[in-house]
Structure 1
Amino acid sequence: MEGRKKVIKCSIKFRRPLPDASANTNTTLHDTEVVKGKAFDRIIQVWLENTDFETAASTPLFEELAKEGILFTKFNALTHTSEPNYVGAIGGDFFGMHDDNMYHVPANITTIVDLLEERGVSWATYQENLPSDAFYGYTFTSPDYATPSDGSYTYYWRKHNGLTIFDAIAQDPKRAARIRTFNDFANDVVNGTIPQWIFVTPNIVNDAHDTTIDFAAQWMQYWLVPLLSDSRVNGENTLILLTFDENESTNEQNTVFTLHSVRNAVPSHLKGTKDDTLYTHYSTLSTVEANWELMSLGRQDTNPIVSNVFSFIADKTGYKKLHVPANEVPMFNLSGVVPGPLTSSRYVPFTAPNVTALGAGGRGVLLRPGLDLNLTPERMPAPVNLGRMNLTTPWQMSPETTSVGGIVGCAGAECP
């Protein structure tokens, strides 16, 4: 939620992809095989930033888009700040993270990528202003295309790129090549090779983080809206999920505007309707698991209170949703610290998932090698305040880190 707001007139015209002018076109994907899902064959998540539900819902473009999909009225982000929400959406937990520092998650932690690959479902993330595939740096600064007189602007931030935070992805060259630029997206569309699971992050200006929801809406009109009519992207069985990482107000529930399946995958009789089921970013994980009968992470994706499968997909897959009474809805607007391996003030090691859990896909938990299954949450040691010993969690890196092969630890380096 931190950061300055960039003052830009909303009359700026998005005529060509200037933000990615410095990005390289990289490896070519060959994703032509399709694994059929029970409700959809492709999901595209587009994440915007830091906006309260009512602010987005009253913006004209969002009002128009809501007529073509299902509006989730009780969809909640997980916590604050931004980064833990992106991490939770990939790994099923934010592991105690409560800030936007530079972290990495060890390779023995399972992610959505493991689940997808186990079933042969292709995937990629497309990050606006990422300079090249697999870029690992904390930020990237480009010429300021919106206000050229300012010289340059830091448009790309790693904290909004959840996949690169996991070593099991970023330290695997084949997987890292699927952390892609917007130029790659254009090429993949032309080549007919965009994958089945897609995560899109606009730059920090276009996602409303450093600007306003009106500015983000204008960018969406330029970038997203044309794609809704492009069958190469939004085919008959494509589900598009438009959401926000977190809300702006820290004194109320963390409800964010979330629109499910603009135009295509949603049945016509459900278009323009609202769904008041309790959902969170973990629900997207469980929905994907249910659709392709994936294994699970055994973390919050299997916690029924926070991981209900989206309604019309639950109907098609046989998933039984959990009704959560209003007085039992957790408070997601966490601005404090919970114990975890990604915090220095209440540090505990990474624990094993619930290996006996049954996920929304009707299957068990997928484990990566090297994880101590004996270290369960019940056996977790007492949290340690590493800060009092002038230490940081071993999973925090210095922002000086620029490559997976050259991680700069916080010992002897400047870290926030």
Structure 2
Amino acid sequence: MLTKYALLLGAAWGSVAARQPPKAFTAPAAAPTDQSPFYVGYSNDTITNTPYVPGKVFDRFIQIWLENADFVTALADPVFEHLTAQGILLTSDYAVTHPSEPNYIASVGGDFFGLASDDLIRIPSNVSTIVDLLELKGISWSSYLENMPTDGYQGYSYTNPDGYTYYVRKHNPLVVYDSVGMNATRGARLRNFNDFAVDVDNDALPQWIFITPNLLDDGHDTSVTYAGSWLNYWLVPLLENPKFNTPRTLILLTFDENETYTVNNRIFSLLLGGVIPENLRNTTDDTFYTHYSTLSTVQNNWSLDNLGRQDINQTVNNVFAFVADKTGYQNNGLTTHNLPLLNMTGTYPGPLNPNDYVSWKPPTNGTGAGGGPTYYPPN
């Protein structure tokens, strides 16, 4: 519980920007490993993780999602350019639709189920996610969401004491699935940035991590330049922190969607982390990827089961090439030509499309990149 003093500090931090997005980034703390009243609820101590489960190529996967930028716009920013020199730039990575929320839920559930809005939705508890696959193998996981007030928060949004709404549920994909959000044990793993600071300091980060900055820092209410300033404060020093970036850590810095809806949905995505070999740093990879590739790559790395959705669709589920090269997995050969259109908003039937409704379907039995069987929830 925050004290009155802490709440006043939080209000003071954002008082200049109350109700309006600021023009320039202001750091909420001295370092990303410090707690701050701006993040709202202080940490409830560390989470308990299972023993590390070694992967074929990496032992920790961290994805950091930013908002709404065309590939060339992000690439032109100096901070993104600096980071690109340290990793593998994915030149043919695509979001799967518009607007934001369906992309987020697709990345953890293997489908967006026809959703074409950012509405408050709940996906039934018998619809599985990456969490089910990870837990079957004993692989620890967590999401860290900037300015989410409490662990597992169910609200549509949260407005800080300064009067600005920094957190929105639509950028928190796992809470949308009742199998996670309505499960007390799993919901406790949806944590805020104060929890993150403590977990890093205690060397207690899990193996699979999803990170969502707030609406300013992800560029949604601001710009790519603003997001770059946040990355310079938050990510750049963490890349030098061995409790965050181990020699077996893979980091995906990506965007939910592009900004120009009239062209195919190419996004800026960059692979970073200690696991990237020196000879592949400051290189490019033109293999065709989508948000489903994050599922496939994780499945391939840990020999996981699959969800029986787009993660078994061999057109859109390519594994990141430097991982596939080490595991012997065969991608489909697509690069930059003859790609499916992934900007067709509202045209996909599904249980979340009121204009083209299709009832919830069980998973499709098939083989994914992990080689395991299709997972069917107990209920």
Shift of 1:163: 0.3
How far is the alpha carbon of 1:19 from its aligned partner?
6.8
Asked whether the 8 Å contact 1:51–1:213 carries over to 2, the reply is: yes
Alignment of 1:58 with 2:76, yes or no, is yes
Structure 2 residue 247 is matched with structure 1 residue 232: no
- Which position in structure 2 is the counterpart of 1:73? 91
Match of 1:377 in 2: none
1:338 maps to 348
Select between 270-279 and 345-354 the one with higher mean Cα deviation. 345-354
Written as runs of structure 1 = structure 2, the 5 A alignment for 1:55-204 is 55-144=73-162, 152-204=163-215
Q: Is 1:363 matched up with 2:377?
A: no
Name the CA distance, whole Å, in 1 between partners of 2:36 and 2:98: 31
**Structure 1 unaligned blocks of 5 or more:** 145-151, 371-416
Report the Cα offset of residue 97 of structure 1. 0.3
Aligned partner (choices 298, 302, 308) of residue 292 of structure 1: 302
* Cα displacement (A) at 1:20: 3.4
Indicate which of 44, 53, 56 corresponds to 1:35. 53
* Counterpart amino acid of residue 118 in structure 1: L
Pair 1:327–1:313, CA change in 2 (3 A): closer
1:307 maps onto 2:317 in alignment: yes
Alignment partners' CA distance in 1, 2:264 and 2:67: 16
Q: In the alignment, residue 109 of structure 1 is paired with which amino acid?
A: V
> What per-residue deviation string (whole Å, max 9, x for no partner) do you get for residues 229-275 of structure 1?
0000100100010000000001111000000124x111111100000
Give me the TM-score of the superposition, normalised by structure 1. Answer: 0.83
Shift of 1:343: 1.8
Q: CA deviation at 1:331?
A: 0.6
d(CA) in 1 for partners of 2:347, 2:189: 32
State the Cα distance separating 1:156 from its structure 2 match. 0.4
Aligned pair partner of 2:329 in 286, 308, 319: 319
Query: Which one-letter code corresponds to 2:44 in the other structure?
Result: N
- Asked if 1:247 corresponds to 2:261, the answer is no
Q: Assess if the C-alpha contact under 8 Å between 2:45 and 2:198 holds in 1.
A: no
TM-score, structure 2 normalization? 0.91
Tell whether the 8 Å contact from 1:134 to 1:177 is kept in structure 2 after alignment: yes
Partner-residue secondary structure (3-state), 1:198: strand
For 1:65 and 1:27, how far apart are their aligned partners in 2? 31
* 3-state SS in 1 of match to 2:134: helix
Identity %: 49
Pair 1:222 & 2:236 matched: no
- SS of alignment partner, residue 189 of structure 1: helix
Q: Which runs of 5+ in 2 are unaligned?
A: 1-18
Q: Size of the alignment, in residue pairs? A: 357
Counterpart secondary structure, 2:64: strand
One-letter amino acid matched to 2:370:
G
**Is 1:275 the counterpart of 2:285 in the alignment?**
yes
- Whole-angstrom distance in 1 between the partners of 2:25 and 2:158: 26
- Corresponding residue to 1:329 among 312, 318, 339: 339
Equivalent residue letter for 1:219: W
Q: Secondary structure at the match of 1:143?
A: coil
Gap change, CA 1:59 and 1:154, over 3 Å in 2 = same
C-alpha separation between the residues in 2 aligned to 1:304 and 1:219? 36
Partners of 1:195 and 1:299 lie apart in 2 by 26
Q: CA deviation at 1:21?
A: 4.0
In 2, Cα distance between equivalents of 1:31 and 1:291: 19
CA distance in 2 between partners of 1:203 and 1:286 (Å): 27
**Matches of 2:171 and 2:22, distance apart in 1:** 21
Question: CA 1:11–1:292 in 2, change beyond 3 Å: closer, same or farther?
Answer: closer
Q: Deviations over 1:255-301 (max 9, x none)?
A: 00000124x11111110000000000000000000000000011101
Q: 1:240 to 1:19 in 2, by over 3 A?
A: farther
Aligned to 2:22: 8
Q: Separation in 1 of the partners of 2:337 and 2:198?
A: 49
Report the Cα distance in structure 1 between the residues aligned to 2:337 and 2:50, rounded to whole angstroms. 47
Write the distance in 2 (CA, Å) between the matches of 1:87 and 1:280: 13
How far residue 172 of structure 1 moved from its aligned partner, in angstroms, is: 1.1
Does structure 1 retain, via aligned residues, the 8 Å contact 2:137–2:304? yes
RMSD: 1.5
Spell out, residue by residue over 1:117-167, the C-alpha distance to the aligned partner (whole angstroms, 9 max, x if none): 0011000000000001010000000033xxxxxxx1010000000000001
CA distance 1:23–1:307, shift in 2 (3 Å): same
Measure, in 2, the Cα distance between the counterparts of 1:242 and 1:161.
Answer: 16
